[in-house]
Structure 1
Amino acid sequence: MFEPTMIIAGASLVGLTIVAGALLRAWHGWLALKRQELERTRASEEHDGGSSIGAARIELSDLKERIKKLEAIASGVDL
C-alpha cells in the first residue's frame, strides 16, 4: 500500500509547501517594510516643507555658478 516512492513524494510535496509558504510570508514582510520606508520618506518630506530633489537642484546650480567663476578666474577674466 505505502511504497517508498509514494512516501518520498508525499514528504517532498509537504516540504515544498512549507518552504513556499515561508518564502511567501517573507515576501509579504519585505513588501510591508518597503511600504513603511516609502511612507516615512513622504512624511519627512512633508515635515521639511519641500522636496529633497528641489534642494539638490538648487545645490547643483550653486556648484555650476562656482565652477564658472573659478574658470573665469583661471582664464584671467574679471567678473
Structure 2
Amino acid sequence: MTDPTSIVAIASSLIAAIAITAAAGLKGWQGWLEIKRMELSSGRADATMPQAGNRIELADLKERVRKLEAIAAGIDL
C-alpha cells in the first residue's frame, strides 16, 4: 500500500469527492439564494410581519402553551 500509484489514486479520489461535494453544496446554496430573491421581489418576505388577526391567534396560542406548561409543571391556575 506504500507504492506511489495507489497513494496518487487515493489522493485523486479524495480530491474528486471533495470537489463533487463542494459543487453540490454550491448548487444548493445558489438555489436557496434564488428562492430568497424571488420571495423578496414578490413581496412575500413581508408576510413575516403579523397582521392583527394573526397577532390575536398568536396570543391565544401563547396563552394555551402557558397553561399547558403550568399543567405539566403541576401548578394550579
TM-score of the superposed pair, with normalisation by structure 1: 0.58
Identity %: 7
RMSD, aligned α-carbons: 2.7
Q: For residue 22 of structure 1, what is the amino acid of its counterpart? A: I
Q: 1:27 to 1:61 in 2, by over 3 A?
A: closer
Pick the aligned partner of 1:18 from 16, 33, 49.
16
Count of residue correspondences: 59
**Which consecutive unaligned segments of at least 5 residues does structure 2 have?**
61-77
**Which consecutive unaligned segments of at least 5 residues does structure 1 have?**
66-79
Pick the aligned partner of 2:42 from 44, 60, 71.
44
User: Which has the larger Rg?
Assistant: 1
Q: Once the two structures are superposed, what CA deviation does each residue of 1:7-66 show, in whole Å capped at 9, x if it has no partner?
A: 211100111111111111111101100110110110121xx6x82123x3422334359x
TM-score of the superposed pair, with normalisation by structure 2: 0.60
